[in-house]
Every structure is written in C-alpha cells, then in structure tokens.
Amino acid sequence: MRRPFFALPLLLALVVGALAGPSTTATAAEPPVVTPGDAFDSVPTLSIGRAVVGQRVKATPSGSFAPTPTRVTYRWYVDDEYVGWSGEGDWPVYRAYAGHRLRVELHAERTEDGDFRTGVVAASTVVSPATRTIKRLPTFSHAQAGNRVWLETYFPVWNQEPDPAESDARRTYQWLLDGRVVWTSRDSAVTLPRRSKGQRLQARVILDQPGFQRATATSRPVTVGGLLFRRTGYPEIESFLPEVGRTVRVDTDTWSPRPTRFTYQWFLNGKKIKGATKSRLKVTKRMKRKYLKVSITGHRRYYEPETTFSTSYKVYGPNLS
C-alpha cells in the first residue's frame, strides 16, 4: 500500500517541532476581573468620615458581606497612590495629605471550591488642613514713638506651635496703627515714627505651614507713648527766700530738648493756689510763714508732657520777719 504524499512532510514537521520546544509567542491569559457580585451575594456600602490633618479618619461599612469572608482589610490610597493597609477602618491623616484625595478600599476575601475570590467596596474624601487655635494673644514691649518695639516671641501664641525643627513654617508680622496695616515684615520688631504718638498700635502674627490653614492672631491695641524729655536738674524759684510783697518766678532751664510750651501751678502748704498758673507769682501777706512751691510741665510735639516740682520754700515777711 502506498503512503499519502503528505506523510513525509508531516513527519518532518513533527520532528522539527519537537526539537524546537514549545512556542514562545503564546500570550498568557490575564486574570479575570472580579466584581463584588462574583464573590459575594451581598456587599456593604462604605462611607468615610471627614479627614483632617493630625486626626484619624474612620471608614464605616453599612451592611455586611454575604457569605462571610475569611479575611477583611482596609487599603488606603492618596491620589491613587497606595500608602498602607489596616485591619481596622481607621487611618492617621498626615500633613502631606492636605488637599489630596484619600481613598479607602475594603477588601473581603474568601475561598470557594479551592478558588480564591475577593470583593471590593470603596469610598473617598478630600483631606482638610488642620486648624490652629489661639492660646495667647501676641504682646509687645513698651510702645513709644521714636523707639523700637519688639514682639514678645518667647510665649507660644497657638496651642499647636510648630516644632523648631519644622523649617516649612513661615511667620509674617504686620503692625497696625489705628486699625490700618502700615508695616508688613518677616522681622518681629519695628521702629515707631514720631508721628505715631497717641495712635493705637497692634501687632499681628500670620503663620503659614503646609497641612494647616493660615493662622492669624492680633494683639490688643495699645496707645503709643511720646518721646521723653531729659532733664538736667529741677526747676527752682529764683529767689530762695520769698518775701511778702515781692514777685517770684521759676527757672525753666532744666530741659532737653527745650519744651515749646510750659504750664505752671503754684502751691501753698501743698495745696493749689487758685489762679496761680503763670511763671511769676506775687507773694501776699496771707502766705507768710507758709511753704511755697511750684510745678512746671513741659510740652513739645511728639513728646510726653512731663511735670516736675521745685523745692518748697518758707515765705518770710519784710526783713525776714
């Protein structure tokens, strides 16, 4: 019996195929996409609480998987990047998460007829930055026109003060006069101009840091004091022995800089003499054997009024009687 003509080529093909081994162009089958319905008859719905930096966020399932899974895990993602898993439904919210979407997936697993099956439900939320609360309003040193004033930074302003090692915290300082911002700086001190005398000064601290809302704290208003005079002595009544019938005057050459205006008040035995508000005073008989002195107040623009007293002198009658 003659063999068919294709028998020899077929035999050669089988031999060559056996020597070459299995085909390297075959594509492996992808694993099937499993939906909750494939693994479970019923699944819960998943909700996630408000996520705030510095707190723990909670994911809560409503309902349950049926049949009962053999293992349940929560997997956490930030902007679709896997960050970790937990056996319970809570997770710490870090500063780097602020403003990003946090997603949690609840994975339920079970084995059926030797096959591993899983079901997944998910929920997500946008992470909110933390809010700082004020512990103590900012305060500053004595506010005096023409001088430098410092914000007192050694007391914490907020309950959540940044750690000194956190270099991403940025403070900005604003200084207000009569409610209007006049200086903004990274420096916590400022030199007050002379014209600020009598105005209401406030300091405002603004703190910016990733993961936190902008925090602002403003001090209570303080009235700016004026410049101070320097005195080289005390005023003196020119006649050290005031006598009845004489007119006495007070010396005003004890001020630096010199005031542009003076006001006066004369006293007898420590009580004000009514109407005696000039630099000169006529000594009368009723003043005899009593003690006379004068107060003088210097005034100058941008300066605090300053009052000083002369020495008290006994009033004598004619011929020191």
Average pLDDT value over all residues in the chain: 84
226 vs 197: CA distance, rounded Å:
5
Domain architecture of the chain: domains with CATH: 36-126 (2.60.40.2700), 148-223 (no CATH), 230-320 (2.60.40.10)
Cα–Cα distance, 219 to 213 (Å, whole number): 20
Task: Provide the total of helices (H) and of strands (E) in the chain, helices listed first.
Answer: 2, 23
Q: Read off the pLDDT of residues 117-174 as tens digits, 9 standing for 90 and up.
A: 888 999 999 999 999 999 999 999 889 998 999 998 778 899 888 887 788 999 999 9
pLDDT tens column, 85-99:
999 899 999 999 999
Which of 31, 90, 100, 41 has the alpha carbon at shortest distance from 69?
Answer: 41
Beta-ladder partners of 295: 265, 309
Encoded tokens for 61 = 């399932």
Q: Are strands 255-256 and 280-282 parallel, antiparallel or unpaired?
A: unpaired
Q: Both tokens of residue 31? A: 């694993």
Q: Which residues of the chain have pLDDT under 70?
A: 1-38, 113-114, 239-240, 319-321
